[in-house]
């Protein structure tokens, strides 16, 4: 993987061409496949490969549509913080091992690293993993279950998720027990209960 | 006057109150309003209303890592974590660190507590129910433990008095065994709760569903603003929308000019004068400096919480009270009770898809006890009530129930299926062998002896839990809920955070610690009016009863003082 001569060559070429290629992009070209996606944050716990994987899975779970996706809201960084700071060591290891396994399974099935797949294939693979995770008994949930949970939590506890995607009122003032949904603010789900 | 006498005079008050939580705040208010110069002690730091609620206004995105506490820090809260809801980034400052305040367990007991002015009045669940003669007569009728020395009529005016001051919202239902109170307007049931209420009324003659009776005020009350439906009570309320010592009793006590509040004051024992057979005051160890001081008074109110008040009495040993003050019966530290809960059922409902609710109601529903009232249940004595509620599923349920991608985003925007849960809160019997003891071999960071618990649920509680599940499922199914599932996660005693009974009231000094006025039988100027006093646990949330007992005992104490009897 590490081919310093080639790396240097590409960097030089990029410079000659007047373009600026980021390190991950260079690494992608070096690996002989489509460029790896650029990280949206600087990971402090995940390796760059793990970080890219987490980023691409979370964006597949909550993609950019006419509204922001997980990446744009900083969900991958949130996931790293939860795994590295909040979780205990056993769970942390389970997670990073699970990520590797996830990618291995992806390679076996599609012949490619997950991050190298196009958006449609990413979604297909994740849908499969989602079904497996739902079917798995408690205590034996695969890493996708945690990724989905962390992505959803990170997204909908963010200011954007709570106030743009859902509805949130810091101080409701009044309580009404039973009223038409159409008359309940903008009719969306409350962000907090 | 020599220096010692001067020092003694400076440390002398009419009354001393130990503890500032729900009952301590009430003792402080009542005694100071009746003109007594009162020293109010708390072992923890001072907490000023609003000013010292650091997380009260934080939005979800302003709290780090989903309000969860990092693994490294969780190690300090090994036992406090057992509740699953107390140790959060937004609330962890209200709970002790087990690493600093250890205790031991012969059998599991969850002692969940906070050391600060206001105590658990800041974090309490606010459900406020009266006991009735069904409860006060229960021990005598069943021939277990000892009889309560009081009846409902003794406490009724004090319930009224306490409710009027703190403000309790709820609905009158006219039940003899769950007496109506002086209520502020009730909060509203939501659509599914209304539906289940109607179904229960139609299908079960002996049961009803009502809105929880809660110490959240639904209209402005006693200078406090009404509940603003944020449902962030445990962080402390900037509006004073619920009763806490800070929002209610301590300001009233302060306003009299008669209160001296002294935080960081660990009361280690009550001092005794064998000549007068009365307590002379309390010995205090400063939590910050370690300095030991004595304070003197005519009366002492112990309101440190059931376990801590009992600890102080057990620790007040002398040649006259070799087993602790008030322990000639041998019952001090025994009959430890809690409520058992976390057994019930939940189910889903198809319908009301076009209906929703507004405001985060910090309250649920209540189904009053219906067992062993007119008919005798074959498997257990006493009974339980249900708490719970209905809601529409929101985004947290999406992990298990929704897919991924664009569809997930769309689906999550619409409120999910209606779901309702009922959880039983059951009476725990007083068992002599369920106990707390002082453990002189293990010391805390202040060099003080710690506590060992030996407490368990027994057959009556376990049998009751089966019925809690079955009856909950029965009511939900009758109301048309689908996929009804029962659960039973018993946990340890203490998890209900309703610990009580360790210095029980009774008629006979040979079998109880306190008399009908909450006086220690043998040392009549010492009063205990927190959970320790409870002779039986009933199944209702107990705090309102502690308030009523405290106000009643304070009234009695001041009258006795005036008569020269104390």
Q: Dig out the tokens for B402 from the structure.
A: 């929704």
How far apart are alpha carbons B534 and B427 in whole angstroms? 12
Q: Read off the pLDDT band of A25 (50, 70, 90).
A: very low
Beta bridge partners of B348: B419, B482
Across-strand partners of B505?
A: B514
pLDDT in tens, B143-168: 999 999 999 999 999 999 999 999 99
Query: Would the pLDDT of B555 be above 50?
Result: yes
User: Which tens digits make up the pLDDT trace of B463-476?
Assistant: 999 999 999 999 99
Tokens of B103: 């205790």
Strand B292-302 vs strand B523-528: parallel, antiparallel, or unpaired?
Answer: parallel
What is the Cα–Cα distance from A135 to B283, expressed in whole angstroms?
A: 61
Segment B34-43 mean pLDDT: 98
Q: Once rounded to an integer, what is the mean pLDDT over residues B197-217?
A: 98
Exposure letters B42-81 (e unless 16+ CB within 10 A, then b): bbbeebebeebbebbebebbeebbbbbbbbeebebbebbb
Region B170-176 average pLDDT: 98
B340 pLDDT more than 70: yes
Kindly state the tokens that stand for A181. Answer: 């949904």
The helix/strand/coil state of A116 is helix
Nearest to B406 by CA among A77, A67, A75: A67
Mean pLDDT of B9-13: 94
Share the mean pLDDT of chain A.
87
Closest CA to B549 of B565, B564, B534: B534
Give the residue carrying structure tokens 């002189």: B440
Nearest to B61 among A123, A158, A190 (CB): A158
pLDDT greater than 70 at residue B551: yes
B3-69+117-127+243-336+434-442+499-563: CATH topology: FAD/NAD(P)-binding domain (3.50.50)
Specify the pLDDT at position A10: 42
Q: Tell me the chain B residues in contact with residue A130 when contact means C-beta distances shorter than 8 Å.
A: 403-404
* The predicted structure's pLDDT at residue B536: 98
Q: Does A44 touch chain B (CB under 8 A)?
A: no
B400 touches chain A (CB under 8 A): yes
What pLDDT score was predicted for residue B248? 98
Q: Which of A85, A149, A176 sits opposite B358 (nearest CB)?
A: A176
State residue B309's pLDDT score.
98
* Token pair of B203 as six digits: 């299908």
pLDDT of residue B2: 58
Interface test with B, best of A80, A170, A178 (most B CBs within 10 A): A178
Q: Using CA coordinates, name the residue in chain A closest to B188.
A: A177
pLDDT at site B368: 98
Could you give the ipTM of this predicted complex?
0.94
Contact A182 B354 (CB under 8 A): yes
Which pLDDT tens digit goes with each residue over A61-119? Answer: 999 999 999 999 999 999 999 999 999 999 999 999 999 999 999 999 999 999 999 99
Cα separation, B562 vs B566, in Å, equals 8
DSSP assignment, residue A164? I
Flag whether residue A119 sits within 8 Å of chain B, measured between CB atoms: no
Q: Does B106 touch chain A (CB under 8 A)?
A: no
Tens digits of residue pLDDT in B260-315: 999 999 999 999 999 999 999 999 999 999 999 999 999 999 999 999 999 999 99
Q: What is the rounded CA–CA span in Å between residue B476 and residue B197?
A: 10
Q: What are phi and psi of A184, to 5 degrees?
A: -100, 90
Q: Give the H or E element holding residue B343.
A: strand B340-349
Are B135 and B383 within 8 A, CB to CB?
no
**Residue B468's pLDDT is what?**
98
Half-sphere exposure of B18 (CA within 13 A, CB side): 34
Question: Residue B362's closest chain A neighbor by CA?
Answer: A193
Domain boundaries for CATH 3.50.50.60 within chain B: 3-69+117-127+243-336+434-442+499-563
- Strand, helix or coil for residue B547: helix
Asked if B320 is an interface residue toward chain A (Cβ–Cβ < 8 A), one would say: no
Q: What is the mean pLDDT of residues B50-61?
A: 98
Beta strands in chain A (DSSP E): 176-180
What pLDDT is attached to residue A37? 86
CB B92 within 8 A of CB B74: no
Span A53-66, mean pLDDT? 98
pLDDT computed for residue A8 by the predictor: 43
With an 8 Å Cβ cutoff, is B376 touching chain A?
no
A9-47 as b/e: b if 16+ CB within 10 A: ebeeebeeeeeebeebbbbbbbeeeebbbebbeebeebe
Tell me the pLDDT band of B4, cut-offs 50, 70 and 90: confident
How far apart are alpha carbons B241 and B547 in whole angstroms? 18
Using the predicted structure, report yes or no on whether residue B434 has a pLDDT greater than 90. Answer: yes
- CB atoms under 10 Å from CB of A147, counted, come to 27
Q: How many CB atoms lie within 10 A of CB B432?
A: 12
């Amino acid at each position: 993987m590490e081919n310093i001569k080639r790396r240097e060559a590409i960097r030089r070429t990029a410079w000659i061409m007047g373009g600026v290629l980021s390190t991950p992009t260079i690494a992608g070209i070096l690996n002989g496949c489509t460029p790896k996606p650029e990280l949206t944050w600087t990971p402090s716990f995940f390796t760059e490969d793990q970080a890219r994987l987490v980023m691409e899975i979370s964006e597949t779970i909550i993609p950019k549509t006419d509204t922001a996706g997980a990446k744009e809201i900083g969900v991958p960084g949130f996931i790293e913080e939860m795994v590295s700071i909040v979780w205990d060591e056993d769970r942390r290891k389970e997670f990073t091992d699970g990520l590797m396994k996830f990618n291995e399974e992806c390679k076996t099935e599609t012949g490619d690293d997950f991050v190298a797949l196009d958006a449609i294939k990413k979604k297909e693979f994740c849908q499969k993993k989602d079904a497996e995770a739902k079917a798995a008994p408690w205590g034996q949930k695969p890493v996708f279950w945690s990724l989905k949970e962390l992505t959803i939590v990170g997204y909908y506890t963010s200011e954007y998720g709570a106030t743009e995607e859902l509805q949130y009122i810091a101080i409701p003032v009044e309580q009404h027990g039973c009223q038409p949904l159409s008359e309940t603010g903008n009719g969306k789900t409350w962000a907090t209960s | 006057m020599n220096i010692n006498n001067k020092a003694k005079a400076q440390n002398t008050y009419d009354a001393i109150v130990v503890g500032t939580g729900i009952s301590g705040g009430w003792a402080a208010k009542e005694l100071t309003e009746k003109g007594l110069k009162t020293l109010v002690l708390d072992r923890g730091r001072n907490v000023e209303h609003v000013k010292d609620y650091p997380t009260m206004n934080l939005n979800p995105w302003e709290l780090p890592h989903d309000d969860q506490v990092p693994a490294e820090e969780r190690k300090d809260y090994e036992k406090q974590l057992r509740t699953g809801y107390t140790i959060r980034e937004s609330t962890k400052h209200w709970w002790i660190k087990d690493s600093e305040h250890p205790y031991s367990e012969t059998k599991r007991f969850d002692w969940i507590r906070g050391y600060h002015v206001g105590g658990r009045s800041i974090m309490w669940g606010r459900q406020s129910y009266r006991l009735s003669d069904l409860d006060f007569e229960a021990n005598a009728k069943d021939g277990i433990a000892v009889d309560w020395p009081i009846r409902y009529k003794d406490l009724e005016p004090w319930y009224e008095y306490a409710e009027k001051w703190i403000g309790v919202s709820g609905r009158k239902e006219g039940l003899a065994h769950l007496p109506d109170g002086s209520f502020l307007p009730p909060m509203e049931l939501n659509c599914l709760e209304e539906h289940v209420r109607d179904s229960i009324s139609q299908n079960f003659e002996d049961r009803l569903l009502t809105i929880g009776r809660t110490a959240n005020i639904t209209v402005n009350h006693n200078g406090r603003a009404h509940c603003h439906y944020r449902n962030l009570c445990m962080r402390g309320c900037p509006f004073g929308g619920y009763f806490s010592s800070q929002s209610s009793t301590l300001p009233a006590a302060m306003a009299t000019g008669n209160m001296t509040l002294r935080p960081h004051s660990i009361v280690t024992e009550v001092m005794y004068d064998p000549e007068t057979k009365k307590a002379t005051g309390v010995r205090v160890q400063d939590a910050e400096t370690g300095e030991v001081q004595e304070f003197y008074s005519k009366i002492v109110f112990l309101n440190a919480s059931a376990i801590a008040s009992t600890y102080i009495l057990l620790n007040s040993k002398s040649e006259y009270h070799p087993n602790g003050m008030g322990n000639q019966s041998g019952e001090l530290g025994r009959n430890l009770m809690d409520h058992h809960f976390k057994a019930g059922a939940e189910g889903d409902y198809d319908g009301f898809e076009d209906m929703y609710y507004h405001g985060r109601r910090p309250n649920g529903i209540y189904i009053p006890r219906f067992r062993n009232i007119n008919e005798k249940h074959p498997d257990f004595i006493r009974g339980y009530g249900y708490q719970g509620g209905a809601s529409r599923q929101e985004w947290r349920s999406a992990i298990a129930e929704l897919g991924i991608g664009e569809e997930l985003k769309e689906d999550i925007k619409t409120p999910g299926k209606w779901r309702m849960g009922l959880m039983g809160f059951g009476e725990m019997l007083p068992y002599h062998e369920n106990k707390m003891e002082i453990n002189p071999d293990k010391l805390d960071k202040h060099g003080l002896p710690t506590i060992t618990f030996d407490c368990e649920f027994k057959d009556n509680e376990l049998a009751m839990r089966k019925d809690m599940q079955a009856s909950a499922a029965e009511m939900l199914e009758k109301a048309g809920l689908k996929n009804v599932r029962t659960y039973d996660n018993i946990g340890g005693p203490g998890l209900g955070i309703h610990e009580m009974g360790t210095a029980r009231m009774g008629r006979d000094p040979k079998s109880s610690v306190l008399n009908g006025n909450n006086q220690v039988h043998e040392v009549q100027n010492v009063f205990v009016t927190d959970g320790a006093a409870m002779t039986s646990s009933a199944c209702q949330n107990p705090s309102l009863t502690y308030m009523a007992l405290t106000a009643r005992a304070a009234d009695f104490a001041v009258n006795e003082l005036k008569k020269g009897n104390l």
